[in-house]
């Protein structure tokens, strides 16, 4: 037989595009449209419905950037359409290739009842099926004219990302506003032909099944009268029935589809717009659930449920009803789909506490899975946090984006720093926006790396990022793929159903140990420095507020601010969303974040001040007390206590031969040369130099920074090829104050200026470096380098509840790909018996490299901290302005020292006048066991909750002593629920004795006597 395959396939494409699809709506009449443009920000639904609109016609421009337009759509169903299905086609000016990324709408009835959302792939509203004819149609559309930020030529700088700079030029033209007859038979024919055409393209050319499908498609096209598609569609479908009924092979890969609409809580739109995106999407999904009995939809992020509960109660009522039916599934158990690299220990824990508690309180549902499809890599401390929250599974997809190395598993056990293992799945469909295309389904089956030992994978199905969700077309395709020869099988299932099956079939899944590093989007550890700084400082202020409020509540009857702290925690957790904290959102988002963090700081400082004053006693009769919120003793003041500080011997500052200055406090001797660079950091006790010979530390370096894609997200390795050392100084001058000595260094470069204060305090075995940068560069990357005389094959970076080791070498492509990595408060390098720590108060990105010196054969290991970038997309003014950072170099530091100094620089002591020393509410007798939280229990019982962890990476025994009468103690999960299978802690004399394994996390609940 002659090969006419290409001929038939070409015919299928043209006939579908030009004849069959247009015949889905064979008759139409125009609707009358009027519009009212809301001034300023979106208005309540009732106000939009009551407004008086002005006429607008198809083809007219509408919608200033970020504006809201309320359309009133009216018409009458023609009498001759009686008995037919009728839909309204409402096209606001959509580009079907941009669902979620341009204008959208939410349709309401005149009484305010939400109907469904409108987006580029979902433009219809059912009027009747069938209609009687003569019905009056009246609908209202809340239209959002969100501008296109990520256009066909991506990553171009744009001022549209902030309402303050976007202008007023209309963004869209009204395209189609009609009543139309909906021919379901033709629509079903479209789905038949799309599924078979897409399947055919994935089948081997030399296989019989491909030719069976091809011949059936050819017969169907022969049966279609191109001048009467509607009259012949049924006959065409009959020609396809046989190939659609042929069942899948028993060994076919099995896909669990779950309806999904990954909605970024902010990204190329502000937070306020996400509230409406969620309302539009959930309106669509609840309507679809009513129509499709097999469909299941899952939505994560408790914050998004809370938004519609507050702002769109009429939508939330439908969501709650659908949840109670079991087919609208709250998933993930987190407040938002957060970044997991940068949030601190407690913040990562509270993501689960607040997320799971919301789902329990609202729906009586507890999640077993963490659901993070789009997060940019996963910290090694996360598994035990998931387990401590009462969950056991993790889903993500993002690691498939890695540029260099292909991850070896799709289903596996992920082991964290403490040994906890979490059953994890990466959907091999390689997208969290699956649309049921044949290419996607075939890719999932071919790509699945666990063939032969497992057969199930998951496909999150629906338009996401900007929302939209699953469509009726996707559901129709899934129905045809349920059991179809040549394809994987597709079944709608909940995440729990999928994970239960997947875990049962794969009891000996392979193990991956350590972080799940995304080999992409590494610059998210640095972009938008003020957002990152706001997060870090908010986390530590929350720690202090809980500690001092709890102490004051127990000691002085202070009113513990339960509701206030709950609200603030949720605000901070929201801003850890994976496009806010990483700095990859539009200017509007980060401008608002800066204001929010300032308000959070003011409120938390108010709580702290009030609690400390309640503890400090008489201010008029007292002297200065130092409150220490850091988890180790400092200057003689205990953790969680307040007393007069103990000062160490004064430091000295002298002139350095050859220029510069020498700072000496008996523990360290620091030499700053005439360029303002640290050429020596000498550990006097150990008789050991820190700075590599011939090198200078605290060396600011600047690189060009223009990645191939994803400007705010990415830094490509070639950035290192060009570097400028900033060695010229405008000023190098001494500063002395009350026993503390310092050197001020000022430099100018490009359009920017940097001022640093290098300080050595009495009794401190570290050099403090306070940096202020007035930054006005574009597409540049600023780092500070510390070349250290340390031979180490690995180094430690702090992560949640511990630290994680990475190699300093690049033996493999996996190691080479980690050329920019994340740390929390410290990076630590060590030779046996001696180490160096570099701590920070608000930076996350860093790199570590090593070289061998030719002159003496020694190893120079260079740690560089990432300070600032200047990408132009999506915010063209990223990081412009003044920034302040604090770092400290700690020669001779052990890992325990690094932990202590990291907390110290992030939790400065507070000074309050009073006459009453404050004893700690809780104390621990082992510095390797660190308290991460002291608070009152969330249930307002008055119980004291203490969370602590082993921080050095070894076994530890500790006595946790309470400074109040304890009537009982239990170990709990993160939600403060007693762990029934855990032994009761050993309680004696008001203290609990613990034995902890490396990095073990423990939460204790102490009942007050």
Catalytic (active-site) positions: 374
CA angle 817, 818, 819 (to 5 degrees): 95
Q: Establish how many alpha carbons lie within 13 A of residue 914's alpha carbon, considering only the half-sphere containing its beta carbon.
A: 21
Structure-block tokens of residue 386? 């998931």
Residues 6+ apart with CB under 8 A from 39: none
3-class SS of residue 622 = coil
Cis-peptide, bond into residue 172, ω within 30° of zero: no
- Contact (Cβ atoms closer than 8 angstroms) between residue 867 and residue 772: no
Lookup result for tokens 């050993």: 986
3-class SS of residue 734 = strand
Structure-block tokens of residue 375? 């997060």
Residues 6+ apart with CB under 8 A from 584: 267, 521, 524, 527, 712, 713, 874
How far apart CA 40 and CA 53 sit, in angstroms, is 16
Structure-block tokens of residue 794? 């690995």
How far apart CA 685 and CA 879 sit, in angstroms, is 41
Rg (CA), the chain: 31
Angle between helices 587-616 and 562-574 (to 10 degrees): 150
Residues 6+ apart with CB under 8 A from 586: 149, 161, 162, 267, 268, 269, 270, 874, 875
The residues that bridge with 883 in the sheet, in sequence order, are 773
Question: By CB neighbour count within 10 A (0-12 exposed, 13-18 middle, 19+ buried), where does 1007 fall?
Answer: middle
User: Nearest Cα to 255, choosing from 474, 403, 48?
Assistant: 474
- The pair phi, psi for residue 648, each rounded to 5°, is -90, 175
The residues that bridge with 960 in the sheet, in sequence order, are 924, 992
User: Nearest Cα to 475, choosing from 489, 486, 491, 488?
Assistant: 491
Distance of CA 288 to the CA centre of its chain: 28
- Contact (Cβ atoms closer than 8 angstroms) between residue 66 and residue 268: no
User: Nearest Cα to 867, choosing from 797, 769, 761?
Assistant: 769
Structure-block tokens of residue 843? 């930076």
Lookup result for tokens 């507050």: 310
Residues 6+ apart with CB under 8 A from 542: 346, 565, 568, 569, 572, 604
- Contact (Cβ atoms closer than 8 angstroms) between residue 298 and residue 122: no
Residues 6+ apart with CB under 8 A from 760: 651, 663, 664, 665, 668, 670, 740, 741, 742, 767, 768
User: Nearest Cα to 669, choosing from 766, 584, 568, 538?
Assistant: 766
Lookup result for tokens 């394809």: 487
Structure-block tokens of residue 697? 């530390």
User: Nearest Cα to 893, choosing from 958, 827, 951, 946?
Assistant: 827
3-state SS track over 759-814: EECCCCCCEEEEEEEEECCCCEEEEEEEEECCCCCEEEEEECCEEEEEECCCCCHH
Structure-block tokens of residue 211? 């030719």
Structure-block tokens of residue 168? 């007023």
């Amino acid at each position: 037989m002659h090969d006419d395959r290409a001929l038939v396939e070409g015919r299928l494409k043209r006939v579908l595009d030009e004849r069959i699809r247009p015949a889905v709506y064979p008759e139409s009449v125009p609707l009358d449209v009027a519009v009212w443009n809301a001034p300023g920000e979106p208005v309540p639904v009732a106000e939009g419905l009551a407004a008086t609109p002005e006429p607008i016609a198809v083809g007219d421009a509408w919608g200033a950037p970020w504006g809201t337009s309320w359309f009133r759509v009216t018409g009458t169903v023609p009498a001759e359409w009686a008995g037919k299905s009728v839909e309204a086609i409402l096209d606001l000016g959509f580009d079907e290739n941009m669902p979620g990324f341009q204008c959208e709408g939410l349709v309401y009835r005149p009484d305010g009842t939400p109907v469904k959302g409108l987006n580029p792939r979902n433009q219809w509203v059912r009027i009747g099926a069938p209609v009687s004819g003569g019905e009056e149609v009246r609908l209202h559309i809340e239209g959002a004219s969100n501008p296109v930020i990520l256009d066909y030529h991506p990553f171009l700088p744009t001022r549209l990302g902030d309402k303050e700079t976007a202008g007023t030029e209309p963004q869209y033209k009204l395209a189609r506003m009609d009543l139309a007859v909906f021919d379901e038979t033709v629509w079903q024919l479209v789905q038949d032909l799309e599924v078979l055409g897409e399947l055919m393209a994935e089948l081997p050319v030399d296989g019989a099944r491909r030719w069976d499908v091809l011949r059936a498609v050819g017969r169907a096209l022969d049966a279609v009268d191109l001048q009467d598609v509607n009259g012949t569609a049924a006959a065409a479908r009959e020609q396809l029935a046989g190939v659609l009924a042929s069942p899948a092979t028993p060994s076919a890969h099995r896909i669990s589809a779950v309806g999904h609409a990954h909605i970024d809580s902010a990204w190329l739109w502000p937070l306020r717009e996400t509230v409406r995106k969620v309302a539009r999407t959930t309106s669509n999904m609840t309507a679809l659930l009513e129509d499709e009995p097999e469909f299941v939809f899952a939505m994560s992020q408790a914050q998004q449920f809370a938004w519609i509960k507050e702002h769109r109660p009429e939508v939330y009522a439908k969501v709650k009803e659908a949840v109670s039916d079991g087919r609208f599934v709250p998933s993930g158990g987190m407040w938002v789909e957060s970044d997991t690299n940068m949030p601190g220990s407690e913040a990562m824990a509270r993501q689960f506490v607040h997320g799971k508690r919301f789902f329990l309180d609202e729906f009586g549902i507890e999640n077993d899975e963490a659901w993070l499809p789009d997060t940019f890599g996963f910290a090694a401390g996360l598994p035990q946090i998931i387990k401590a929250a009462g969950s056991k599974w993790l889903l993500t997809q993002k690691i498939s984006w890695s540029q260099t190395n292909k991850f070896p598993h799709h289903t596996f056990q992920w082991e964290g720093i403490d040994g906890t293992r979490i059953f994890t799945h990466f959907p091999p469909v390689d997208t969290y926006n699956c649309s049921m295309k044949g290419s996607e389904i075939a890719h999932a089956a071919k790509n699945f790396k666990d063939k032969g030992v497992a057969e199930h994978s998951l496909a999150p199905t629906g338009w996401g990022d900007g929302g939209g969700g699953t469509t009726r077309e996707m559901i129709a395709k899934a129905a045809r793929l349920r059991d179809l020869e040549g394809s994987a099988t597709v079944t709608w299932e909940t995440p729990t159903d999928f994970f239960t099956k997947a875990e049962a079939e794969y009891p000996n899944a392979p193990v991956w140990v350590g972080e799940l590093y995304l080999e992409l989007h590494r610059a998210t550890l640095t972009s938008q420095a003020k957002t990152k700084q706001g997060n870090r400082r908010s986390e530590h202020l929350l720690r202090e507020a809980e500690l001092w409020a709890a102490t004051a509540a127990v000691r002085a009857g202070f009113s513990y601010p339960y509701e206030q702290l709950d609200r603030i925690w949720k605000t901070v957790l929201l801003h850890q969303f994976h496009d806010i904290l990483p700095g990859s959102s539009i200017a509007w988002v980060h401008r608002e974040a800066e204001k929010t963090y300032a308000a959070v700081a003011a409120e938390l400082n108010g709580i702290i001040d009030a609690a400390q004053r309640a503890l400090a006693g008489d201010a008029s009769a007292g002297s200065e007390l130092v409150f220490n919120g850091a988890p180790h003793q400092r200057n003689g003041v205990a953790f969680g206590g307040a007393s007069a500080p103990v000062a160490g011997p004064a430091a000295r500052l002298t002139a350095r031969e050859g220029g510069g200055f020498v700072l000496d406090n008996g523990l360290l001797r620091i030499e700053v040369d005439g360029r303002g660079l640290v050429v020596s950091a000498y550990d006097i006790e150990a008789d050991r130099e820190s700075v590599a010979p011939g090198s200078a530390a605290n060396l600011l370096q600047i690189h060009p920074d223009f990645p191939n894609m994803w400007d705010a997200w990415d830094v490509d390795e070639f950035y290192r090829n060009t570097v400028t050392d900033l060695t010229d100084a405008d000023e190098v001058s001494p500063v002395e104050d009350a026993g503390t000595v310092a050197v001020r260094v000022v430099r100018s470069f490009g359009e920017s200026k940097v001022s640093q204060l290098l300080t050595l305090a009495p009794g401190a075995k570290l050099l403090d470096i306070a940096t202020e940068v007035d930054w006005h560069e574009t597409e540049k990357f600023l780092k500070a380098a510390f070349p250290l005389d340390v031979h180490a094959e690995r180094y430690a970076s702090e992560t949640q509840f511990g630290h994680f080791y990475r190699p300093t070498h690049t033996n493999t492509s996996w190691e080479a790909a980690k050329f920019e990595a994340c740390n929390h408060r410290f990076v630590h390098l060590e030779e046996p018996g001696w180490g160096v720590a570099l701590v920070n108060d608000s930076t996350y990105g860093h790199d570590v490299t090593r070289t061998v010196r030719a002159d003496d054969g020694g190893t120079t290991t260079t740690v560089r901290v990432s300070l600032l970038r200047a990408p132009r997309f999506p915010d063209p003014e990223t990081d412009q302005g003044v920034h302040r950072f604090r770092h400290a170099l700690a020669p001779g530091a052990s890992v325990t020292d690094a932990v202590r100094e990291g907390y110290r620089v992030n939790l400065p002591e507070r000074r309050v006048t009073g006459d009453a020393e404050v004893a700690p509410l809780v104390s621990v007798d082992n510095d390797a066991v660190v308290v991460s939280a002291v608070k009152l229990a969330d249930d307002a019982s008055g119980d004291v909750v203490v969370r602590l962890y082993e921080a050095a990476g070894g076994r530890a025994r500790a006595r946790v002593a309470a400074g109040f009468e304890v009537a009982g103690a239990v170990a709990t999960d993160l939600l403060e629920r007693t762990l029934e299978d855990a032994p009761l802690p050993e309680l004696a004399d008001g203290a609990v004795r613990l034995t902890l394994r490396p990095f073990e996390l423990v939460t204790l609940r102490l009942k007050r006597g």
